[in-house]
Structure 1
Amino acid sequence: MHTPLGATRRAAIIVLLAAALIMSLRTAVEPTRAEDTYPSRSIRLVVPFIAGSPVDALARVVAQDLSHRLGHTVVIENQSGAGGTIGAKAVAHADPDGHTLLFIINSHLYGLYSDPGYDPIRSFAPVAAIAQWSHVLVVRADFPAADLPGLVARAKAHPGTVTFGYGLNTPPQILGETLKHVAGVDIRSIPYRGGAQAVQDLLAGRIDMNFGATSTLLPLIREGRLKAIAFTGAKRSADLPALPTVAEAGYPQIAFDPDAWAAILAPAGTPATVVGRLNREINDALGSSELRASLVKLGYEPRRMSLDELSLFLAAEARKWPPLASAAGLRTN
């Protein structure tokens, strides 16, 4: 018995419609993963410090490389103020979709602000470690001391007259305050919105001393416009091999090794697949010879961590820094 041609066509159409229905149901049950469509637009990387600072420069180098890897622009957005808490709060309350990230340094965990509007650990998802570094202690070129013991002796002989400038809620602040505490000296502290402003006043002779990143201060030291008197690293700086470490100068208490590091966070609740991809891309970038060379040239030591390693590291640092800040006499705001 022969089946009419029309019936055959109708049966084929029914089969196709059924297959299409099954596929649509499967798509509804198994939606596209966030990682498969991420990123879908440009990414904001919030740097909670002023433009032109050493931390800003580090973030921009990383953002440029990451833009190429992700296929979308990573835009630096400086939101400075209140020791970095304004920018951190903005990211903590941003949509957790991976398109807003936070570039932090270890001062994020100092605990100097009692109610910043976020929890420095629970409000964020760890994404990637970036780098670590130490600082150079410099004084103005005509300061009457050539080394750290000489600086301490000058401060003891003239209490309250030596001035120290720093960016508020930054590693240089805790370094300077710790030095004052362990040396038992009265050095007047002068806060700035950022370290770059402190360096400008140091060059102008309006303040006497500053702790700064090698990348910023090395040209000024070589030009003779500033005088380097100590390095905070565990070993001497490759760029300034004749410069003693703070430990060699008699003050191992300010050799935190490292005294500064940087990392990237996302708002809590960001999909694990997105965070995982960012961690892989950033670690790959930090392993490339090109980015490593750029960071080393700026005075930074690249640092790669898995997500588990970074989570444990941040938890340990959150326990480490508040007591140090308290011992140094830094007040909670």
Structure 2
Amino acid sequence: MNFTLSRRKALLAMLASTLSAGSVRAADAFPSRPVRLLVNYPPGGGTDIMARVLAEAMRDDLGQAVVVENRPGAGGAVGAAEVARSAADGHTVLVTAAGFVIGPSVLRSPGYDPAKDFVGVAQIAIVPLLVVVPPTSRFKTFQDVLAAGRRGESLSFASFGNATPSHLIGEAINHHAKISMLHVPYKGGMQALPDIVAGSVDLGLLDAVSMTPLVQQGRLRALAVTGPRRLPALPGLPTLVELGIPFDAVGWHGAFAPAGTPTAAVARLNAAFVKALARPDIHKRIVEGGSVPIEPPLTPAQWTAQARREVGQWAEAARMAGVEPA
């Protein structure tokens, strides 16, 4: 009897050891197939550009193909909801912008909850927005825009979609400057560009990553930048705060995985993002492209906590701006 009991205990211990070893091997094997970076905005915008730069750098580190796919729509809600429904195994990662944490405040049915359905993987960069006009615009400075608005002239601003930072910041300008610019949403910044250049809209509030090169090439004129500090790439450009608009919220690029993704997989992905972002060529590209690197990098837990705090912060910004859920 005792022999049988001892034998059973030994077999159970062997089984537990085998399962444990299998779990370790499974974690060590991640990723076991291509990793999909799903961008919930159209190709050509700042988020898409950053995802493609990082995907190329991450392939060798992860030992698997890293494929970028675009799922635009509803200010990013379509792609975010798709990732929320994906298998929580680390092989599908959402690469997104700050509109991700804004969506639930301004959309009646976003299809996802950023706090409950996701875990943070890595913050990629801080991404200010630029106030841009065509080089032929009558507006030479941001003060010119405010003066025209205060004279009661009809003005419009392009954003890269409803429920996005560019939309809310434009409404914040209206609120603080006491003007009434008409909001004209587009499905991404690059879709807005032709109308901005043609003068169909008076100005655009678009991400610095995709717009800074166009400003440097003289294809656009920048009037101001969002956020608490000036851009290293455009040091002569004043911030909205400097120009009398007391709103310094700023956008970002970040990566998230579905809730329930194994901690080991999240840590492995975070390490791959951090390693890629530390490469001198990518660091230089982030700075020269109009973004601000994350130094020091955040852990997955830190990034998760920050994103969840921002859900409430942007909800308050939407309320102050008078944006009703659509």
- What is the TM-score when the length of structure 2 is the normalising length? 0.88
Q: How many residues align?
A: 311
Distance 1:326 1:63 in 2: 36
Pairs within 5 Å for 1:260-271: 260-271=251-262
Pairs within 5 Å for 1:1-333: 26-28=17-19, 30-33=21-24, 34-110=26-102, 111-159=105-153, 161-168=154-161, 169-251=163-245, 253-256=246-249, 259-303=250-294, 304-333=297-326
Q: What are the superposed Cα offsets for residues 287-320 of structure 1, whole Å, 9 maximum, x if unpaired?
A: 3323212322322222210122112211211121
Indicate if the aligned counterparts of 1:127 and 1:266 stay in contact, CA closer than 8 A.
yes
- Change in CA separation of 1:250 and 1:30 when aligned onto 2, cut-off 3 Å: same
Indicate if the aligned counterparts of 2:127 and 2:209 stay in contact, CA closer than 8 A.
no
Distance 1:181 1:220 in 2: 29
Distance 1:83 1:39 in 2: 30
Indicate if the aligned counterparts of 1:88 and 1:102 stay in contact, CA closer than 8 A.
yes
In structure 2, the residue corresponding to 1:239 is in which secondary structure?
coil
In structure 2, the residue corresponding to 1:56 is in which secondary structure?
helix
Q: What are the superposed Cα offsets for residues 62-86 of structure 1, whole Å, 9 maximum, x if unpaired?
A: 1111112101111111000011111
Identity of aligned residues (%): 34
Indicate if the aligned counterparts of 1:50 and 1:78 stay in contact, CA closer than 8 A.
yes
Higher Cα radius of gyration: 1
In structure 2, the residue corresponding to 1:236 is in which secondary structure?
coil
Indicate if the aligned counterparts of 2:212 and 2:290 stay in contact, CA closer than 8 A.
no
Distance 1:129 1:220 in 2: 25
Give, as a single letter, the amino acid of the residue that structure 2 aligns with 1:325. A
Give, as a single letter, the amino acid of the residue that structure 2 aligns with 1:216. S
- Change in CA separation of 1:298 and 1:158 when aligned onto 2, cut-off 3 Å: same
Distance 1:98 1:83 in 2: 24
1:220 is displaced (CA, Å) by 3.1
Distance 2:28 2:184 in 1: 49
Q: What are the superposed Cα offsets for residues 123-167 of structure 1, whole Å, 9 maximum, x if unpaired?
A: 1121111110212211233332322221011122234x2111111
Q: CA RMSD in A?
A: 2.2
Distance 2:216 2:265 in 1: 44
In structure 2, the residue corresponding to 1:59 is in which secondary structure?
helix
Q: What are the superposed Cα offsets for residues 83-138 of structure 1, whole Å, 9 maximum, x if unpaired?
A: 11111111111111111111121111112123222211111121111110212211
Structure 1 alignment gaps of length 5 or more? 1-20
- Change in CA separation of 1:130 and 1:224 when aligned onto 2, cut-off 3 Å: closer
1:255 is displaced (CA, Å) by 2.1
Structure 2 alignment gaps of length 5 or more? 1-11
Indicate if the aligned counterparts of 1:152 and 1:183 stay in contact, CA closer than 8 A.
yes
Give, as a single letter, the amino acid of the residue that structure 2 aligns with 1:178. A
Distance 1:44 1:314 in 2: 21
1:221 is displaced (CA, Å) by 2.8
1:223 is displaced (CA, Å) by 4.2
Distance 1:135 1:25 in 2: 53
In structure 1, the residue corresponding to 2:106 is in which secondary structure?
coil
Indicate if the aligned counterparts of 2:232 and 2:288 stay in contact, CA closer than 8 A.
no
- Greater shift after overlay, 206-215 or 138-147? 138-147
Indicate if the aligned counterparts of 1:145 and 1:154 stay in contact, CA closer than 8 A.
no
Tell me the residue number matched to 1:6: none
